Amino acid sequence: YGKNTIKFLRLHTEGKKHFVKEVEVCTHLRLTSCHEYLDGNNSAVIPTDTIKNIVLVLAKKNGISTLEQFAIDICQHFMTTFRQVAYVKTYVQEVPWQRLQENGVPHIHSFIYVPNGIRFCEAEQCRNGPLVVFAGIKDLKLMKTTQSGFEGFCKNEHTTLPERKDRILCGELFCKWSYGECKDFDFDCIWNKIRECILEAFAGPPDCGEYSPSYQKTVNCIQMHILCKVPQVQVIEVVLNNTFYNVVDMKNLGLTNDKEVLVPVETPYGSCACTLGRK
């Protein structure tokens, strides 16, 4: 049991300069007994309102240096404070505020919401077990308008999809990775490096791109690129929810539409997923 969607903004200042972290936290506990379920005895139950207040107090006292460290702080607090807690799991998700710039000059206290992918992390620990940390990025929308196709697929009497040598590849990406046992990592640096690897593997070189024969191959290329470039990552999961675009037939309007006007196919949409880990 636990408390979901604990939302708050943590503000701190250094001189005149302001810094913000707006997050959503979910914290779940498993207790050493189950008397509250079997007998209605609540003596070991930490109220979910107390869980919420602990999260807010830790944000006040410790600040949020990184999402991962804040999740670790929450896990360690419950493990060291309450004997009846056998397992704790904390999920932290960040609102993507970015410092506003005016003519290239960073503003001291103004920010803009930039949906370039949402950062999240998880930390979990069993009593007498290691602290394990996961991190990720979700709702990252990507598109390339060429260098993508889909050919040679299985066909039968139900197949209506034509083969395509040149199509738009567009999707919403979810990526989650495991660090294994927690160590003293630079979580911000690693997260930024992984996001950079995702964009590099998806797009290819900026002057020519890289051909994608399928969404599946693109997913695997992203994973392989990250595992090659970021040694701290042990296991990585990638899900790519696909958005398809159909060319509008304009013959009845007396026009030839050569992939210049397209409409998105909202539903149903395809999805490709893969989990890959080191030996």
* Closest listed residue to residue 138, CA positions, set 81, 76, 191, 60: 191
CA 127 to chain centre: 27
Average pLDDT, the chain: 95
Query: Cα-Cα-Cα-Cα dihedral of 262, 266, 270, 272, to 10°?
Result: 90
C-alpha distances (whole Å) from 250 to each of 92, 232, 246 are 48, 52, 12
* Closest listed residue to residue 122, CA positions, set 59, 71, 193: 71
Cβ(122)–Cβ(88) below 8 Å: no
- pLDDT tens digits, one per residue of 91-135: 999 999 999 999 999 999 999 999 899 999 999 999 999 999 999
Q: What are phi and psi of 73, to 5 degrees?
A: -60, -40
Instruction: Tell me whether residue 48 is annotated as binding.
Output: yes
Ramachandran assignment for 73, one of left (phi > 0), alpha (psi -120 to 50 degrees), beta (any other): alpha
Return all residues near 187 (Cβ < 8 A) that are at least 6 apart: 66, 67, 68, 69, 121, 135
Instruction: Tell me whether residue 80 is annotated as binding.
Output: no
- Residue 53 pLDDT exceeds 90: yes
Give the whole-angstrom CA distance, residue 170 versus residue 142: 6
Instruction: Tell me whether residue 49 is annotated as binding.
Output: yes
Cβ(33)–Cβ(22) below 8 Å: no
CA angle 128, 130, 132 (to 5 degrees): 140
Domains of the chain as residue ranges with CATH: 2-129 (3.10.270.10), 143-277 (3.10.270.10)
Q: What is the pLDDT of residue 173?
A: 97
C-alpha distances (whole Å) from 66 to each of 119, 255, 258, 260 are 11, 54, 48, 43
- pLDDT tens digits, one per residue of 151-205: 999 999 999 999 999 999 999 999 999 997 767 899 999 999 999 999 999 999 9
- pLDDT bin (cut points 50, 70, 90) of residue 24 is very high
Cβ(64)–Cβ(10) below 8 Å: yes
What 3-state class would DSSP assign to 151? coil
Percent with pLDDT over 70 in the chain: 100
Q: What is the pLDDT of residue 37?
A: 95
Instruction: Tell me whether residue 216 is annotated as binding.
Output: yes
For the segment 46-62, the average pLDDT, to the nearest whole number, is 98
- Residue 145 pLDDT exceeds 90: yes
Q: What is the pLDDT of residue 199?
A: 97
